[in-house]
Each structure stands twice: as C-alpha cells, then as structure tokens.
Structure 1
Amino acid sequence: MDPSLYYNPASQLVPVRTPLRTLTPGTVIELHGRIHNTKRFAINLETKDGDIALHINPRFDCNHVVLNSFRGGKWEMEEHAPLTIAQGQDFSCMILVEKMEYKMAFNGQHLTSFKHRILFSLVDVLTAKSGITIQKVEQKPPVDVTPSMQIARSMRPRVAPAMPIGGGMPPQPTMPVRPSSAQEPSFNPPTPFCCQLAQGCYPGLLIYISGRPYAEPDRFNVDLTCGPHAVPGSPVAFHWNPRFHEKSVVRNSFLDEGWGVEEREGRGFPYEAGVHFDMIIQVLHDRINVAVNGQHYAEFRHRLQPISQITHLRIEGDVAIASVRFQ
C-alpha cells in the first residue's frame, strides 16, 4: 500500500484545507495547481493552535515571494525570495522538511530555504488561499524523497576547508566528481562541489548558480578548471572569489603552476552573509561575463585558449549551494 497521503480536491478553488500526517525530516509535500489573474496567493503549513509554521506568499505585485511565520496572533520577520512563477499558468510546489529548515521548489526549480521557527512536528494541516485552483496535494514519507526535485536528505551543506590568504585558492585534494552526459541540474549538493561540463566549454555557455553564503563567511570560490583538480597544479582558467572581510570579489587564473594578476574592479560587493543569491556565468569568445542578482558585475578576459580545455566547474568555501544549472 502506498504510504503517501494523497488528496485530490477535483480542481478545487481555494481556500483548501488538507490534513497532514506528522511531519518528519525527509517528508515531502507536493502541491499542483493553476494560478489565476491574482496579485497574491498563499500556501501555509499550520498547527492546530492556528499558528503558521511556514507561510509561502508569492506576490506578483511586488515581484517576489514572502516567507514568514505566524505565532501567537502576530506575524514574524519576513524573508524574501525571487518570484519564478507566472500568472495564468499551471504550477507545482514542493516542500521538503529537513531537521533545521524547509526547502522549497516551484516547478522543479529550487526556490529557497526557511529555518524552522515553530516545531515542524506540530504542523497538522496545509492550507491554500486566494487566486489559485488546487488540483492535487500529496504528502510523501521520508522513504520517497522526490527525485524530480533532486533533493536528498544527505545533501546538506558541509563546512569546507578554510581558504588561504594568498593570491587565490590553490588546487585542493580531489573530491567526488559528478559527471553528467545530459548536464542534469544539481539541487542542494554538498560543498565542495565539482561537476564535469558535459558538453565542454564553448562560447554561449550559460551557468546558473543559486546559493547562500554561510552566516559568518570568510570567502568562497567558483572556478572553471582544466580537470577536477585531481593533479596538483591543474590549471584554473577562471577563479571567482568573493571575500567578505575585504568586501571584494577577486578574479584570477591559475596557469603554469602560478596565480596571475588579480582583478578586483566592480560596483560594490554583491553578496551578503546568510542571504540568497543568484549568479550567471556567460562564456563568450573572448571573455566571461558574470551577473549577480540580475545585475552585470564584471567581465574577465580569457587568459587560457582554446577554452575547450576547460572541463569542470568547481565550487567550494563558505557557501550552501541551492542549485547549479547549465544552458
């Protein structure tokens, strides 16, 4: 017998109130529906006392998603995430319960995380309100963590080794490499992370990285490398190194067993401790462009040619990775 708790409201207009089994780490709640021409809607995980442990509130009039909790008759501090869904379209929402936080995804794409403020074991009902039609609600137990979202309970961020203060991050000992012939996206992989570029490096390649620096970060780095660093001295064609204490993003390359000249120009410092970010790496014929949170930040002229020598993406340091996608 399928242990999932399945609820099909026959395309019921909200409000919807669906009872839930006791939540435990690894539980997944999946909701499918359609968004109407509404300014806002809400999906809540509530307790029998009327508190809201998790409030997911997409706001099309503000172009972001508000996350919050409601306790003792009062709303608590809001958190914001990017809006990735649209009015007039079908959507899916997945909520993964973890020991310290919820993880959420819309349409199979990681949205954000929300640390527990109210014990998840007290949650007994899911509600949905305002401007959507609900087609299905399903609660899956920990034995069936959804593969479509590619979130595993074992894929929690790990503290990476500290980075040296020198010109950059020298090659480190090897780590497990995640080859992918179809370049599948990776959701919530552990840090450090290393991924082979399935189609190689070429002009037009786009790499989308979402994540969150640790609460007290020193630095992290995103590298395009010639190999997975299994051999000391492996070239790093592009080194992106946000340094929080310096409030600077250092760009560099590691070629011929030495670091090159650092580049630091940029408008402000685009990262905040503990705050979600989205960045895009665009590979062109002569350079790499990088945007953070929708704003162009820097370009880096290729120092290694041909760029087809670049084979891997590597991320390490004081950052929790939410997703890595390729286009």
Structure 2
Amino acid sequence: MLSLNNLQNVIYNPTIPYVGTISEQLKPGSLIVIRGHIPNDVDRFQVDLQHGNSLKPRADVAFHFNPRFKRSNCIVCNTLTNEKWGWEEITYDMPFRKEKSFEIVIMVLKNKFQVAVNGKHTLLYAHRICPEKIDTLGIYGKVNIHSVGFSFSEDLQSLEMPTLRLTQVNRGNVQKSGLSQLSLPYEARLNSAMGPGRTVVIKGEVNTNAKSFNVDLVAGKSRDIALHLNPRLNTKAFVRNSFLQHAWGAEERSITGFPFSPGMYFEMIIYCDVREFKVAVNGVHSLEYKHRFKELSSIDTLAVDGDIHLLDIRSW
C-alpha cells in the first residue's frame, strides 16, 4: 500500500544543488518523496530524474519537474535527450506557496509519472525515456529541502501480508496492457465478513474520459448496500449513501478535496471502525461514513463498477 512512512535511503537536509545516485531501479510502484519549504525570494526550482550526472555533455533528464513563480505561477515538465529539450507540458494549478512547507510524491507507473503535492493529485507525465534508465536525482534552484526518501516497489500488485485476494464471482480476469485487469462489473465475496478492524483495498486506474465509478459494500442475502462510494469526476462530487430496505437514504457529499482525476492510479482503503467506515485515497484520509446498516457481520460482498480499470482487490 502507498506508505509514505516506510521510506528507504532517506537523505536529510541536502545542500542545493543536490545531485545524488538513486540506489535501486525505479520500477512501477516506486515512490520518491521530497519534503521541503519554499523561500520567499523563490523564482523557480526543479527536480530532475536523470540518466547519469554528467555536465558536459549534459545528462539526459527523463522527467524535469519545474515549478516557476515569476509572471504566471505554473509547473513546467519536460524531457532532455541529447542536450535537446522536448515539448513543454505546463500545469497552471499551482500547489506551491511561498514561505510554506510542501511534500512532493512522485510515483513511477508503467507508462507515466504521477505527482501529488501535499496529498493532492497534481499532474501526470507520460514516459518519453524508459524509467529504468533513471539513476540520478537532481534538485536545483531556490528551495529548502528537509528530506528526500525512496520506496522501491517491485510491483503495483504487491502488498504486505497478511492480505487475501478476493475471488471474483462473475466473469474471469481479462488480460490488457500487461497488467492483469479485473473485469467490470466486479463482484466478490469478502474472505471474512465485515466488522471493526477489517480493511478492504481497491487498486485501479481512472479512465481518461471517466464520468464516475462506484464501490459498494453489500449484505449478500438482503442485497442491502451498507456503503455506496460514488466518485463523480464530471462534477467533482464524492457521493456516499446506503441502499436499505429497497430505498436510497440521504446522500453525503461534504469533502475537503476531491481525490480523483482522469488517468490517475489510485489505492482506495476502506477501514471499518466500530461506529463508521474510514476511507483514504493514495495514503490521504478522505472521509468517514457513520454506519447506517448496523449488522456489520452481514456485509460479505464487494461490488465495483464504472469508468476505471480495476487492477487489484484485497481484504484482511
């Protein structure tokens, strides 16, 4: 699971410019977590994932992440190959603020980088250079860095034990894009019934043109839906509800920030507490939902459908 606490090879308070070797290969699922502070006189800084550290000729940069504070606040991303820059990809939704602390999480995915700042999804950047070639991290410009840490994951599907993959009760798995994908609509029996302390993890990727999707915890016998989670990307609403005795209840919608974005990889964790469900997305707490369906031990089924690629489901 996306854990920002168990980081390896942490470097504290590096001097900037910092250029350091990355000790292991960045495979899909690897994270780079950079924590720091933006000084008041900042004009720009950059984080470069490089192939080598040579200056003449300049090393290739697979991923150039460059927040700029002059004129228009924006983040410019690019790739440098054979000392030539490619086309710039510019993000104007600027998460950095002068004199404020920040946490950048760069996740390496199979076909792209995914960046979150301060727990909020910020941008996607498709690979132009194979990420396996990256062996050096460079941080340059006016920025104070408190720590740089890595989490090297073999595989997006791997999770710490004890975890059990659910057995799908509908159609079999579909092979697509090299990652085994679970077919939708998906329905599976939980390996043991819901109750305080139980956890369900859903891993997936939001479709690029997604409108909405839903994750339901269901009491199999009555078909009551104890928890209906329904992120709607077209309206940025994260709707929660219950379907009890053949009727929907009152929707809950309040949320501090909508955690999903088209094209992004996500890990949604549903944790069952005594009084409520707690939901986190990519390691960041998103919401609580008070139990309306009280017979927790009758909740024995998980159902998922909508505009996502479903990659993995676990529960324990």
TM-score (normalised: structure 2):
0.50
TM-score (normalised: structure 1):
0.49
